[in-house]
Amino acid sequence: MTDTQTNEVIQAQVAVLGAGPGGYTAAFRAADLGLKTVLIERYPSLGGVCLNVGCIPSKALLHTAAILNEAKEISHMGVSFGAPQIDLEQMRVGKQAVVNKLTGGLAALAKQRKVQLVRGVGQFVSSNRIAVQGKNGTQQVSFDHCIIACGSSAVKIPGFPNEDPRLMDSTDALELADIPARMLVIGGGIIGLEMATVYSALGSQIDIVELQPGLIPGCDRDLVKPLERRLKKQLNRIMLETKVSQISPQKDGLKVSFEGKQAPAQAELYDRVLVAVGRSPNGHKINAAAAGIQVDERGFIPVDQHMRTNVPKIYAIGDVVGNPMLAHKATHEAKVAAEVIAGLPALFDPLTIPSVAYTDPEVAWMGLTETEAQAKGIAYDKGVFPWAASGRALGIGREEGITKLLFDPETKRILGAGIVGVNAGELIGEAVLALEMGADAEDIGLSIHPHPTLCETLGLAAEMAEGSITDLLPPKKR
Ligand code: NAD
């Protein structure tokens, strides 16, 4: 990894601020297009939250959780394992090895591309210069073009004892300091449920408190229901339409008071509390005003479809430009920004950005949701295939899944898809491709899916919409 600190001003054709999935992709693409590129990052390794303390370590832990659950549930097939022996230190080592492999790979790729890495906290000093505060002083970087990829931070709730190490954000929770006997998760969104899945499999007794009337707000209720049913069996308590009113640190735990519809009458004591109530953009942390860059009151930086900010030659991508805050959005925006700078005719104009909760079962959706269609009065046809009729789902003992496809009633083209079930996150990719390629129900139904697989359920859901299904009775025509 090229790691620079000089007294001279570094001249860059492209300076990229932040080396998360958006930032390193932008820098690598810019370098591949022949531009002299400098990548500024405050942390020792590349990859940002996603690789270091987010998507990747959480997936390594979720894989372990899935195996723990599967081992417990396979007894109906005549195999029993004893109680698992959990070596927490080895779990941490294993998780870190996955992270190191990826971040090490990125460092090598940066070097091979001659992307110059400047380590430290970057702040704008003008519309063509960034000062990077590093360990050994300040490094000035002057640029022709800049791509801001400074990401987002976990939201903290004011008034909570945020300095108490027992009150965690997702980064703390992924460190696996211990397996708390009792843990509260504040926020029943994606992070909250993924971490609840991990800690519950490790043996913690988990309560979840969620402000809204359901888990994963924004996702169709029929998709959340099978997950909720399973969580209710695994977790101690799910409190909906409820919030935490106070947390007071005690010697033997955090004492939490609740208010709302399902609030317990008494305060409860927890060994640890995880706050997972969303992330906020880092737009106010880079002295954007010195460059004249517009930042809205929440911290988002507005951009056009070419990822340009209001300041010519300064671009922004990833979490800091808006929701959804997802790595796969950032990487695509990154390529657009680098290509536009290189003079290529690029535009960020996807038909959809898929969402996945890597819970057990997983929940994945893309395109139009039924909830959105109903709210906006958009007409749609629906094909739903219940996994109870899938030989593969039955074979793996997971028949609770559903694959749902929405189609335009006129053109029959796919509008949206939602899947709940194991590997839903892998399966949704086919629906994204179908939407981007303008596939209709017949295209999907007539595409021969391998049997017996879970991906077959997409073809069968299309057959449900077409009325050509034979594995179930065809639904009555509306
Ligand atoms: P989120 O927005 O997905 O969920 C936050 C939840 O907290 C919501 O359900 C909200 O209603 C609830 N909430 C808010 N304030 C509350 C309060 N005071 N008390 C109780 N509940 C409250 O946010 P997140 O789960 O923190 O994730 C943050 C971001 O990271 C999201 O943009 C998410 O998409 C992204 N992320 C994605 C993945 C993935 O793709 N698998 C994984 C982790 C994070």
| DSSP bridge partners of 17 | 40, 148
Smallest Cα–Cα separation from 133: which of 119, 143, 147? 119
Calculate mean pLDDT across residues 373-385.
98
Average pLDDT over residues 269-285: 98
Report whether CATH 3.50.50.60 matches the domain 167-277.
yes
| Cβ proximity of 197 and 186 under 8 Å | no
Domain edges within the chain: 2-154+281-341, 167-277, 355-466
As for ligand 1, residues whose beta carbon falls within 6 Å of it are 157, 186-192, 194, 209-212, 217, 243, 276-279, 324-326, 356-358
Residue 2 pLDDT: 45
**40: phi then psi, degrees, rounded to nearest 5:** -105, 125
Residues 395-443 have pLDDT tens digits of 999 999 999 999 999 999 999 999 999 999 999 999 999 999 999 999 9
45-84 pLDDT per residue, tens: 999 999 999 999 999 999 999 999 999 999 999 999 999 9
CA of 223 to the centre of ligand 1 (A): 17
- Give the pLDDT of residue 6: 73
* Catalytically active residues, by annotation: 451
- DSSP bridge partners of 177: none
Nearest alpha carbon, ligand 1 atom 8: 189
Distance from C-alpha of 196 to C-alpha of 188, rounded to nearest angstrom: 9
Do the strands 355-357 and 152-154 form a parallel or antiparallel pair, or are they unpaired?
Answer: unpaired
Mutate to test the pocket of ligand 1, among 190, 193, 243, 428 (most ligand atoms within 8 A of CB): 190
Q: Give me the architecture of the 2-154+281-341 domain, per CATH.
A: 3-Layer(bba) Sandwich (3.50)
Q: Do domains 2-154+281-341 and 355-466 have the same CATH topology?
A: no
The rounded distance, in Å, linking the Cα atoms of 355 and 364 is 6
pLDDT (0 to 100) of residue 476: 81
pTM (2 d.p.): 0.96
The superfamily (CATH) of domain 355-466 is FAD/NAD-linked reductase, C-terminal dimerisation domain (3.30.390.30)
Residue type, 185: V
Alpha carbon 8 to its chain's center: 39
pLDDT at 3: 58
Helices (H), 382-440: 391-395, 424-436
Q: Whose CA is nearest to atom 9 of ligand 1?
A: 189
Q: Ligand 1: distance of its center to the CA of 172 in Å?
A: 16
Position 129 pLDDT exceeds 80: yes
pLDDT at 353: 98
Share of the chain above pLDDT 70, in %: 99
Q: Residue whose CA is closest, atom 40 of ligand 1?
A: 356
Calculate the average pLDDT of the chain.
97
Please give the average per-residue pLDDT across 246-274, as a whole number: 98
Ligand 1 atom closest to the Cα of residue 157 is 18
Q: Are the C-beta atoms of 439 and 478 separated by less than 8 Å?
A: no
Tell me what pLDDT residue 7 has: 78
Phi, psi of 214 (to 5 degrees): -150, 165
Residue whose token pair is 């007409």:
379
CA 77 to chain centre: 34
Candidates 172, 259, 277, 423: which one to mutate for ligand 1, based on the most atoms within 8 Å of Cβ?
A: 277
**CA 279 to centroid of ligand 1, rounded, Å:** 7
CB 403 within 8 Å of CB 385: yes
For range 308-317, the mean pLDDT: 98
Cα(72) to centroid(ligand 1), Å: 29
For 19-34, write each residue's pLDDT tens digit: 999 999 999 999 999 9
Nearest CA to ligand 1 atom 43: 191
